[in-house]
Amino acid sequence: MKPTLQLKLSQHLALTPQLQQSIRLLQLSTLELEQELEQMLRDNPLLERAEETLYAAPSDLGVESAASGADAPAEEPAPGREEDSWLGDADNASYGSTSGSFDDDDGDRHDVQAATTSLREHLTWQLGLLNLPAQDRSLVQCLIDALDDDGYLAVPLEELAEALTTDLGIEPEELQIALRYLQNFDPTGVGARSAQECLALQLLALPTDATQQLALKIVRAHLDLLAGRDFVRLKKLTGADDEALRAAQHLIRSLNPRPGAQYTPIDARYITPDVVVRKVHGKWTASINQDAFPRLRINSLYASILGQQRGSGLSGQLQEARWLIKNVQQRFDTILRVAQAIIDRQKQFFDYGEVAMRPLVLREIADILGLHESTVSRVTTQKYMATPRGIFELKYFFGSHVATESGGACSATAIRALIKQLVGAENPKKPLSDSQLADVLGQQGIVVARRTVAKYRESLNIPPVKLRKAL
């Protein structure tokens, strides 16, 4: 075959290092961004923090304004939309409420105080106060070490007794005595081997009266019936009337089925919002949270040296530092634009709460701002907004919709809020079933199937109608 020459034209997208960095910074959370910048500050001597710099484009580097540089890259296709009480007490539960408060004076972080003393330390301290023989003390300490985080004896007593009998010649009766010592420690109920035993220990520590005796009887023999709200069988088996049974139920619900949980260390989670929302002159307005915005600049000393020595090996790092500062600025510009667009579309939410949330999808915001849908997805993931109603992830304001009889649409978030309101206002003796909730919503013009109501109810951690029924 005779060789020939052919010309072929094709197009492909090439990502520059600057563009790749812009994409990476845009999808990072505030914490991840801070970690990324710390690494870059260590690697690049030309980059340093400027503590007094406010949120503004650095003038000395000639960075473009937000209007000219806010659009993030659009190279990828758009991705797809991405403890109740132990007895199911519906009277005192707050079903997944996300409402909160925002105070400028307190800052924008949610602080959680972790436990400073563990359960084992607390029990060991009490053990040290007792005048016990060395062997009994060792056995109680062995039981303390076998407890789980809730304060229950995780290892069966028989198994533990067998192991100790083989190794140390301990009699099972001695371990039983040690367990009784432990079960008299604070918190009451610690060392129990089941929920029934835990609650019974707490009841036995209370003064003896008719209500305590009835509650103890129910806990020991009929706790499953109480949990299932089978009050008819309970009254038949216990011989108690409605008033006595109601008092016993109230007493049992006041007990703590997890006595050791209060000593479990809590992982403190800190959220630094990227955007703060305030009402200014009657309009909801977003602004960048200055605590989240990194203040960076070029080291003036190194920059002046480079100006005198052209061709230095640090010239590449100088360009990288300029790119980084510009991309960080552009990241926050894009976040601010998206946040403000969300606020403009969800004004009713900020005024009236979840029940006024309107349907919103990523494409709607993308079309308004002239951005790619994938860019909006990156911006709204792990980015947070501090509002007078609490701190929300930007993705929270997006959701599916349900058609209404008038031809409009209602947000799924608003429907969940309505269901929570209806359940909160229902008669505890005659709670609303999923079908009845669907009928009530239908009367308000919101056409929702019973299965959909059940799904929304479960997402709010609201128990089914049987478990919400009160005596």
Q: What is the CATH number of the domain that holds 410?
A: 1.10.10.60
Angle at which helix 17-27 crosses helix 373-380, to 10 degrees, equals 50
Cα 459 off chain centre by: 14
Angle at 269 between CA 40 and CA 54, to 5 degrees: 45
CB 227 within 8 A of CB 87: yes
Residue 329's pLDDT band (cuts 50, 70, 90) = very high
pLDDT at residue 57, rounded to an integer? 40
pLDDT at residue 64, rounded to an integer? 37
pLDDT at residue 363, rounded to an integer? 92
pLDDT at residue 81, rounded to an integer? 36
Total domains present in the chain: 3
Residue 82's pLDDT band (cuts 50, 70, 90) = very low
The average pLDDT across 367-395 equals 92
Peptide bond into 187 cis (omega under 30): yes
Whether residue 449 lies inside any domain: the answer is yes
The average pLDDT across 453-468 equals 86
Residues in a beta bridge with 298: 47
Asked if residue 367 has pLDDT above 90, the reply is yes
Domain that holds residue 323: 17-79+270-353+361-397
Residue 269's pLDDT band (cuts 50, 70, 90) = low
The average pLDDT across 305-322 equals 74
* R_g of the chain, CA atoms, integer Å: 31
pLDDT at residue 154, rounded to an integer? 83
Question: Which residue has better confidence, 433 or 300?
Answer: 433
Q: Which of 54-58, 221-225, 248-252 is least confident?
A: 54-58
pLDDT at residue 268, rounded to an integer? 60
pTM over 0.95: no
Whether residue 276 is found in the same domain as residue 391: yes
Among residues of the chain, what percentage have pLDDT more than 90? 30
pLDDT at residue 442, rounded to an integer? 84
pLDDT at residue 134, rounded to an integer? 86
Whether residue 263 is found in the same domain as residue 151: yes
Asked if residue 74 has pLDDT above 80, the reply is no
Whether residue 100 lies inside any domain: the answer is no
The average pLDDT across 358-372 equals 91
Whether residue 329 is found in the same domain as residue 187: no
Question: Which residue has better confidence, 70 or 49?
Answer: 49
Tally Cβ neighbours within 10 Å of residue 50.
13
Mean pLDDT over the full length of the chain: 79
pLDDT at residue 377, rounded to an integer? 92
Residue 449's pLDDT band (cuts 50, 70, 90) = confident
Q: Which of 153-162, 318-327, 413-422, 453-462 is least confident?
A: 153-162
The average pLDDT across 43-60 equals 63
CB 166 within 8 A of CB 225: no
Whether residue 251 is found in the same domain as residue 157: yes
Whether residue 102 lies inside any domain: the answer is no
Whether residue 388 is found in the same domain as residue 280: yes
Domain finish residue from 345, 372, 397: 397
pLDDT at residue 167, rounded to an integer? 57
The average pLDDT across 292-299 equals 88
pLDDT at residue 184, rounded to an integer? 92
Cβ within 8 Å of residue 358, ≥6 positions away: 345, 346, 348, 349, 409, 411, 414
Rounded Cα distance, 193 and 12, in Å: 66
Whether residue 60 lies inside any domain: the answer is yes
Asked if residue 110 has pLDDT above 50, the reply is no
Whether residue 327 lies inside any domain: the answer is yes
The average pLDDT across 175-203 equals 91
Asked if residue 232 has pLDDT above 90, the reply is no
Per-residue b or e along 213-236, where b marks 16 or more CB atoms closer than 10 Å to that residue's CB:
ebbbbbbeebbebbeebbbeebee
Helix locations, 313-359, DSSP H: 315-345, 347-352
Q: Which of 110-119, 233-242, 394-403, 423-432 is least confident?
A: 110-119
Determine the length of the chain.
471
Whether residue 182 lies inside any domain: the answer is yes
Residues in a beta bridge with 276: 287, 386
Whether residue 120 is found in the same domain as residue 258: yes
The average pLDDT across 154-183 equals 78
Whether residue 371 is found in the same domain as residue 245: no
Q: Phi/psi zone of residue 382: left (φ > 0), alpha (ψ -120 to 50 degrees), beta?
A: left
pLDDT at residue 401, rounded to an integer? 63
pLDDT at residue 73, rounded to an integer? 43
pLDDT at residue 217, rounded to an integer? 92
pLDDT at residue 174, rounded to an integer? 81
Whether residue 325 is found in the same domain as residue 345: yes
Whether residue 232 is found in the same domain as residue 328: no
Whether residue 431 is found in the same domain as residue 461: yes
Q: In the numeric block, which tokens belong to residue 117?
A: 């003393």
Whether residue 91 lies inside any domain: the answer is no
Whether residue 110 lies inside any domain: the answer is no
pLDDT at residue 403, rounded to an integer? 62
The average pLDDT across 221-247 equals 88
pLDDT at residue 53, rounded to an integer? 42
pLDDT at residue 407, rounded to an integer? 57
